[in-house]
Amino acid sequence: MNVVFYLLAALTIGGGLAAVLLKHLVHCALATTVAFAGLALLFLQLDAQFAGFAQILVYIGAVAILIVFAILLTRGSELPKDGVFSRTWFVGLVIAAGVFAVLAWAVLQSVRAVPQQTAVPAVTVHDIGNALVGRYVLPLEIVALLLTAATIGAVIVAMHEKERPR
Amino acid sequence: MTGMTTPLAGYLLVAALLFAIGLAGALTRRNAILVLIGIELMLNAANLNLIAFWRFGPHPELLTGMMFAIFSIAVAAAEAAVGLGLVIAIHRHTHTTELDKINRMKG
């Protein structure tokens, strides 16, 4: 619990809050990118270098760009006339606050039970690669199949349909 | 909070707060893209939990939490691609991404 952790936590939470509170969708996308970057830095702070750089590559490199593309393609940069929050926003806020209260209560109640190893894990990218093609090779293949199917599916869903005579 | 909590509890609290923020965004915003952003934030909060438990758990050399997080990142990328493709398709049909105006299936 050092000062770096608090700075990164503030960056991540601030980015997340800005992402759901700002009005302009493009600003929301940029704030989401800040939250993703804060999470990647938190991963690096947790000595998970591979996951941190995967987070940067996948989220900042791909997902953030996809979100910006979707906003521009759907002309979402125009402000809606009747507010950005739904009519039942209060219910959603209460549910989210309740979920946070329960989670925080559970975490604070189990502080003594959670593991607290302090030694830095001696895990290299080499070990991760070996595990990926060894013990975890079947999930890796399934993820490859899933990514292929998702890419084809996304292209087919978003592809322009030809006008059919009715 | 310092002194009372362990490092893992701090990370878990940050993840819980981020999850709640994402949930609030998904439940209160009217734009479909913002709902997807909220879902992404929730997935990321879960990843932070996995990595934190991997780091402070008793057997980090088994890489269980790390692998879980890596596969979760890959699945989240697929989810984002399909979700945003669906938003674009819905926008083409209804010319809006406001969720309370998309009520074609309402009886």
Please compute the mean of the pLDDT values over residues A58-63 and round it to a whole number.
92
Residue B17 lies in a domain: yes
> Angle CA(A148)–CA(A154)–CA(A158) in degrees, nearest 5?
155
**A79-83, B15-19, B23-27, B76-80: which range is least confident on average?**
A79-83
CB A36 within 8 A of CB A13: no
- All residues of chain A having their beta carbon less than 8 Å from the beta carbon of residue B2 are 1
Burial per residue of A143-165, b for 16 or more beta-carbon CB atoms within 10 angstroms, e otherwise: beebeeebeeebeebbeeeeeee
Tell me how far apart the alpha carbons of residues B36 and A58 are, in angstroms, rounded to a whole number.
16
CB B76 within 8 A of CB B46: no
Nearest to A100 among B16, B71, B75 (CB): B16
Residue numbers of the domain that contains B28: 7-97
Whole-number CA gyration radius for chain A: 21
Question: Minimal CA–CA distance to A51: which of A103, A114, A100, A121?
Answer: A121
Give the CA dihedral A64, A65, A67, A69, nearest 10 degrees: 170
Question: Minimal CA–CA distance to B52: which of A65, A48, A58?
Answer: A48
pLDDT at position B45? 95
In the structure, what pLDDT confidence band is assigned to residue B2 with cuts at 50, 70 and 90? very low
- Give residue A8's identity as a one-letter amino acid code: L
Is a pLDDT exceeding 80 seen at residue A110?
yes
SS3 of residue A111 by DSSP: coil
Q: Tens digits of per-residue pLDDT, B42-78?
A: 999 999 999 999 998 888 888 889 999 999 999 999 9
Does B77 reach chain A within 8 Å, measured CB to CB? yes
Residue B85 lies in a domain: yes
Q: What is the tally of structural domains in chain B?
A: 1
Nearest to A13 among B17, B33, B58 (CB): B17
Q: Tens digits of per-residue pLDDT, A67-103?
A: 999 999 887 667 777 777 888 889 999 999 999 999 9
Tell me what ipTM this predicted complex has.
Answer: 0.90
Residue B39 lies in a domain: yes
Residue B106 lies in a domain: no
Tell me how far apart the alpha carbons of residues A160 and A163 are, in angstroms, rounded to a whole number.
9
- All residues of chain A having their beta carbon less than 8 Å from the beta carbon of residue B54 are 46, 48, 121
Residue B103 lies in a domain: no
Q: What are the tokens at B29?
A: 């915003």
Please compute the mean of the pLDDT values over residues A12-31 and round it to a whole number.
93
Per the listing, tokens 């393609």 go with: A73
In the structure, what pLDDT confidence band is assigned to residue A118 with cuts at 50, 70 and 90? confident
Tell me how far apart the alpha carbons of residues B95 and B13 are, in angstroms, rounded to a whole number.
40
Name the A residues in 19-78 with CB < 8 Å from any B CB.
19-20, 25, 28-29, 32, 35-36, 39, 42-43, 46-48, 50-51, 54-55, 58-59, 62-63, 66-67, 69-71, 73-74, 76
How would CATH label the architecture of A1-79? Up-down Bundle (1.20)
Residue B28 lies in a domain: yes
SS3 of residue A67 by DSSP: helix
Higher per-residue confidence, A142 vs B101 = A142
Q: Which CATH number fits the domain that encloses residue B38?
A: 1.10.287.3510
- Give residue B107's identity as a one-letter amino acid code: G
Per the listing, tokens 């946070």 go with: A100
Whole-number CA gyration radius for chain B: 18
- Give residue A23's identity as a one-letter amino acid code: K
Report pTM: 0.90
Does B39 reach chain A within 8 Å, measured CB to CB? no
pLDDT at position A120? 80
Backbone angles phi, psi at B31, to 5 degrees: -85, 135
> In angstroms, what separates the C-alpha of A129 from chain B's closest C-alpha?
10
> In angstroms, what separates the C-alpha of A166 from chain B's closest C-alpha?
16
Q: Tens digits of per-residue pLDDT, A131-157?
A: 999 999 999 999 999 999 999 998 888
Residue B105 lies in a domain: no
Query: Does the beta-carbon distance from B30 to A84 stay under 8 Å?
Result: yes
Residues, chain A? 166
Does B94 reach chain A within 8 Å, measured CB to CB? no
Residue B29 lies in a domain: yes
Please compute the mean of the pLDDT values over residues A44-58 and round it to a whole number.
92
Q: What are the tokens at A119?
A: 């030694």
Query: Does the beta-carbon distance from B92 to A139 stay under 8 Å?
Result: no
Query: Does the beta-carbon distance from B23 to A59 stay under 8 Å?
Result: no
Tell me how far apart the alpha carbons of residues A151 and B76 are, in angstroms, rounded to a whole number.
13
